[in-house]
């Protein structure tokens, strides 16, 4: 069940002489805070920074602006390519990297800290297995997402990336097809894709690589939509799992807003709201969620 916060009274955003809002009860989703993969990635990066060496994150280690700001304050530099690194430590992001990028790190003789989520590493192994066994690899995911870029590096030459039903409906008939998924894709989409591929291929091999932690967060969002009138999802705008929570809340018929910082919460959103539901993506720290709740309290004036 969602976790209730003390009721807060919000002031009318409409100016003097207009009715004031009633009490708004703030509810947190039952699943919040860092997932274990994000926790590991942040801790490994911070430990490297504490060593006093130059530390480089190969892309944002996790998709959360507050964490990026926190690491930058500790001297961690974000780079987009190994070519930008001259000495020091390279931290591989939680989303993983393709094998050619890892080879480039080794070729330069750089010290490497691997912060790839264990579930992403598992998906990479399964993707390589399918390619090695001669299957055409079908990846469910967003083509330009760093996790998918990493997966396709293990998929061999015969692979395809699909994200929507319109895309996979266009797949041709195949003799042997293997299916994996970006970890943050919704489980229902994976099930639908697998059902379709099974119908158009003579032989299908499937590895379910949807993250179970992501599934729990999505289930918690669904529960929250049953308890709250308005949903605020907190997390990076470039976070796939966070955006999926927003989509899920809206699919349940709720108004949902996606914010990164507490300051983005607007008083007018709360007009007519009795219960405000707050949930964060898997890379959103609890202190950010608490700040959002406190912002709601501040709107009480």
Return the CATH number of the domain spanning residue range 119-210: 3.40.1010.20
In terms of Cβ atoms closer than 10 Å to its own Cβ (0-12, 13-18, 19+), residue 73 is exposed
**What is residue 271's predicted lDDT score, i.e. its pLDDT?**
84
Q: Are 254 and 227 in contact (CB under 8 A)?
A: no
SS3 145: coil
235: left (phi over 0), alpha (psi -120 to 50) or beta: left
pLDDT classification of 161: cutoffs 50, 70, 90: very high
pLDDT classification of 297: cutoffs 50, 70, 90: confident
Separation between Cα atoms, residue 240 and residue 67, nearest integer Å: 16
User: What order do you get walking across the sheet with 55-58 strand by strand?
Assistant: 77-79, 55-58, 89-92, 111-114
Task: Give 36-116's CATH code, choosing from 3.30.160.340, 3.40.50.300, 3.40.50.11270, 3.30.70.2190.
Answer: 3.40.50.11270
Residues of the chain with CATH 3.40.50.11270: 36-116
**What is residue 296's predicted lDDT score, i.e. its pLDDT?**
84
- pLDDT at residue 99 tops 80: yes
**What is residue 84's predicted lDDT score, i.e. its pLDDT?**
95
**Tens of pLDDT along 51-92?**
888 999 999 988 898 899 999 999 999 999 999 999 999 999
Q: What number of H helices and E strands is found in the chain? A: 10, 14
The continuous run of DSSP H or E covering 73 comes out as helix 65-73
Angle between helices 212-227 and 240-251 (to 10 degrees): 40
Separation between Cα atoms, residue 289 and residue 291, nearest integer Å: 5
DSSP strand pairing (3-4 vs 89-92):
unpaired
Return the CATH number of the domain spanning residue range 3-34+213-298: 3.40.1010.20
Mean pLDDT of 267-283: 92
**Tens of pLDDT along 10-27?**
333 333 332 344 568 899
Mean pLDDT of 271-284: 92
Mean pLDDT of 189-211: 98
Residues of the chain with CATH 3.40.1010.20: 3-34+213-298, 119-210
- pLDDT at residue 4 tops 90: no
**What is residue 2's predicted lDDT score, i.e. its pLDDT?**
60
Q: Are 190 and 210 in contact (CB under 8 A)?
A: yes
**Tens of pLDDT along 284-294?**
999 999 999 99
Residues classed as catalytic: 147
**Tens of pLDDT along 212-223?**
999 999 999 999
Share of residues in the chain with pLDDT > 70 (%): 92
- pLDDT at residue 6 tops 70: no
- pLDDT at residue 153 tops 80: yes
**What is residue 299's predicted lDDT score, i.e. its pLDDT?**
79
pLDDT classification of 121: cutoffs 50, 70, 90: very high
**Tens of pLDDT along 15-62?**
333 234 456 889 999 999 999 999 999 999 999 999 888 999 999 988
* Structure letter (DSSP) for residue 195: H
Mean pLDDT of 228-243: 95
């Amino acid at each position: 069940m969602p976790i209730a916060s003390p009721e807060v009274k919000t002031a009318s955003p409409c100016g003097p002489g207009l009715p004031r809002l009633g009490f708004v009860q703030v509810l947190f989703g039952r699943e919040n805070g860092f997932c274990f993969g994000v926790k590991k990635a942040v801790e490994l990066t911070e430990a490297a920074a504490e060593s006093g060496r130059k530390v480089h994150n190969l892309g944002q280690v996790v998709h959360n602006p507050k964490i990026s700001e926190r690491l930058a304050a500790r001297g961690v530099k974000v780079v987009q390519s190994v070519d930008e690194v001259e000495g020091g430590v390279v931290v591989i992001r939680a989303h993983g990297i393709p094998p050619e990028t890892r080879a480039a790190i080794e070729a330069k003789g750089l010290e490497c800290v691997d912060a790839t989520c264990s579930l992403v590493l598992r998906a990479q192994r399964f993707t390589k297995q399918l390619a090695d066994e001669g299957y055409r690899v079908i990846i469910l995911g967003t083509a330009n997402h760093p996790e998918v870029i990493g997966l396709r590096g293990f998929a061999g030459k015969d692979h395809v990336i699909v994200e929507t039903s319109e895309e996979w409906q266009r797949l041709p008939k195949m003799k042997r097809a293997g299916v994996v998924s970006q970890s943050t894709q919704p489980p229902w989409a994976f099930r639908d894709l697998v059902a379709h591929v099974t119908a158009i291929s003579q032989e299908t091999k499937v590895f379910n690589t949807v993250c179970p932690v992501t599934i729990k967060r999505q289930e918690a969002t669904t529960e929250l939509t049953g308890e709250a009138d308005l949903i605020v999802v907190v997390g990076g705008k470039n976070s796939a799992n966070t955006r999926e929570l927003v989509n899920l809340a809206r699919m349940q018929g709720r108004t949902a807003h996606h914010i990164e910082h507490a300051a983005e919460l607007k008083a007018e959103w709360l007009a007519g709201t009795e219960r405000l539901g707050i949930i964060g993506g898997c890379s959103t720290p609890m202190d950010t969620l608490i700040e959002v709740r406190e912002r709601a309290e501040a709107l009480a004036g």
